[in-house]
Chains A and B, each alone.
Chain A
Amino acid sequence: MAEKKTNRRDFLFTATYAVGAVGLGATVWPMIDQMNPDASVKALASTEVDISSVTPGKTITVLWRGKPVFIRRRTPDEIAEAKSVNLEDLKDPQKDEDRAKDPEWLVMLGVCTHLGCVPLDQKGDYNGWFCPCHGSHYDTSGRIRKGPAPTNMEVPKYEFVNSNTIKIG
């Protein structure tokens, strides 16, 4: 084949394809993005919880963004157990202090990090939580100890509004 000289038509083709591709992308994007969380879903971003009735050793479960959040008032034994764990034994090493701002209160998403089931309270080999779906065991700090889950149960953004109220989100 003879050597081909780039001419005006080649430039026009390239420019047309490029503009066409941008146009196509701009047209398709709204169709894809409409499936992302909408404004009304995002508006429910935070929730305030009254914790005055929670006694030590008791867990309450509240719904935040459609997901359960565990709020557990831990007993001194549980706190001691959570703090005494050697970090090298953990699949997802994290200190208990980094998970519970106030050691008495553990606030975390009650969602197994494997495939999203709700783990059961006070069950499993580590006195913490046990996920009935695929057998993940969590300790008293909600850290993964055994089973298929890859990470510890997630701690959401939260703060103590006052001594009786936690604001999640």
Chain B
Amino acid sequence: MSDHEYTPKSKFGKWFNDRLPLLSLASHLTDYPTPKNLNYWWTFGGILTFCLITQIVTGLTLAMHYIAHADMAFESVEHIMRDVNYGWLIRYIHANGASMFFLAVYIHIFRSLFYGSYKSPREIIWIIGIIIYLLMMAAAFMGYVLPWGQMSFWGATVITNLFSAIPLVGEGIVTWLWGGYSVDNPTLTRFFTLHYLIPFLILGLVVLHIWALHVPGNNNPVGIDIEKPSKDTVPFHPYIVIKDGFALLMFMIVFAFFVFYAPNILGHADNYIEADPLVTPAHIVPEWYLLPFYAILRSVPDKLLGVVAMLSAILILAALPWLDTSKIRSAVFRPLYKQFYWILVADVLILGYVGAMPAEGLYLLIARVATAYYFLHFLVILPVLGFKEKTLPVPLSITEPVLGGSPNLATARNRESLNN
């Protein structure tokens, strides 16, 4: 965090800032020293902020036309699509926005995994991030229920039934969640309420996420501690603002492609059939971003253990800063970890693929192997690797690999004192 004192130039500015230091905050944000070697994988924080704001704005406007009632919800969504001015556009942005949000968050998470951004002193940033991710999944799930199509209804039925796996109190909890003996109108209205609430909770957590980030500052592709501000840093504005802005523009091209050319490709045709409690669609699958966890759920033949495995797969991420025992952050200097990292990426993609396929035969076998490997990676490979792996020499500063030798004496000294 930059500790320099900021004094507004104008008299009014000074008067205001003495009473509410908003200008000091703005000054901190613009001058915030950022490692100068941040690559494009670091632009997804800004992209995610954009996604959140897009979802909130489009969500607010949709809520002006949507009717949260089991008899009218489906029709009101069609009304939005056909009658409301630009309703189709707003709804398609909102629906595809959820997918874009998850695309960005997965890149953001895997960037952290590659460069070790979750490691000390950034554990709290990471854990807040995991909570945000959990809330995103809850918001996405409940949002998917609101159109009250067949996938909405049966998705809600299957997911809420996960709680019935809890011994003794499970059935009671499910009835409580439903507000009845099946998914019905009371379920829809409360899901709408919570779907409206969660984005604002996420917004609050994003503030904490960024606040916690600004204490140690950004990690960087080299993964070393750097002095801030120094020759290794640049001010956030204009350097990072412009870079983030450019990346956001590229991202919006992808976003717009889906909205305008393939708005339904990520959804399921079944959700254009109104909810029918008497008929289950032949093939229930969640949205693509939940598929890896769905595959883990189905790969376990026991109901309770399946639910436990699925939840553990997410919660294990919160323990990652302590499961990874390596002192070196960036995979650039961890030749073995780098390979296991890409195996994990492949493993998650495979889980996602089999999650979309029927749970039988070869698919089930692959799902089981991939599930086992997922846990093996976090519970065995990562802890052991920290002790066994021979890491490459880490440069003393960001500038060193470029210029050869460290021109930054302070950083070199700082590292020496750390090593001693």
Binding site for B on A (CB under 8 A): 32, 35-38, 41, 61, 63, 65-68, 110, 114-118, 131-135, 148-150
Contacts and interface: CB of A to CB of B under 8 A. Distances in A.
B360 to A, nearest CB: 6
A84 B400 CA distance: 80
Contacts of B204: none
Interface stretch (B19-27, B42-50, B178-186, B328-336): B178-186
A38 B158 contact: no
Given A38-B179, A117-B284, A68 B277 contact: yes
Contacts of A37: 175, 178-181, 186
A133 B280 contact: yes
Given A135-B359, A150-B303, A118 B179 contact: no
B179 A41 contact: yes
A132 B359 CA distance: 10
A64 to B, nearest CB: 8
Interface in B136-172: 154, 157-158, 160-162, 164
B186 A38 contact: yes
Contact of B302 (A36, A38, A133, A148): A148
A115 B157 contact: yes
| Chain A facing B: main interface SS | loop
Given A37-B178, A117-B280, 4 more contacts: A35-B186, A67-B181, A68-B278, A133-B284
A114 B177 CA distance: 17
Given A114-B303, A134-B298, A41 B180 contact: yes
B154 A63 contact: no
B279 interface: yes
B180 A65 contact: yes
B184 A66 contact: yes
Contact of B179 (A36, A68, A117, A149): A36
Contact of A66 (B277, B303, B304): B277
13 contacts: A35-B190, A37-B178, A41-B184, A41-B186, A63-B277, A63-B278, A114-B303, A115-B158, A115-B162, A115-B303, A133-B284, A148-B302, A148-B303
Contacts of A110: 278
A66 B180 contact: yes
Contacts of B302: 148, 150
Interface in B71-103: none
Contacts of A148: 298, 301-303, 306
Most buried by A among B164, B175, B180, B306: B180
Contacts of A41: 179-181, 184, 186
A150 B278 CA distance: 22
Nearest to A65: B181
A149 to B, nearest CB: 7
Given A66-B183, A66-B184, A114-B303, A134 B359 contact: yes
Contacts of A36: 175-176, 179
Interface string B180-215: 111110100010000000000000000000000000
Contact of A135 (B178, B277, B360): B360
A90 B304 CA distance: 19
A36 B186 CA distance: 9
A65 to B, nearest CB: 4
B283 interface: yes
B362 to A, nearest CB: 14
A13 to B, nearest CB: 33
A66 B179 contact: no
Given A35-B176, A135-B359, A116 B157 contact: yes
A116 B177 CA distance: 14
A58 B277 CA distance: 20
Given A148-B301, A148-B303, A132 B280 contact: yes
A91 to B, nearest CB: 11
A65 B182 contact: yes
A115 B175 CA distance: 14
A136 to B, nearest CB: 10
A117 B160 CA distance: 12
B180 A133 contact: no
8 shortest A-B CB distances, which residue pairs?
Answer: A66-B182, A65-B181, A116-B161, A115-B161, A117-B280, A115-B158, A118-B280, A116-B157
Interface in B339-376: 358-360
Most buried by B among A63, A110, A132: A132
A5 B239 CA distance: 64
Interface string B14-48: 00000000000000000000000000000000000
Nearest to B303: A150
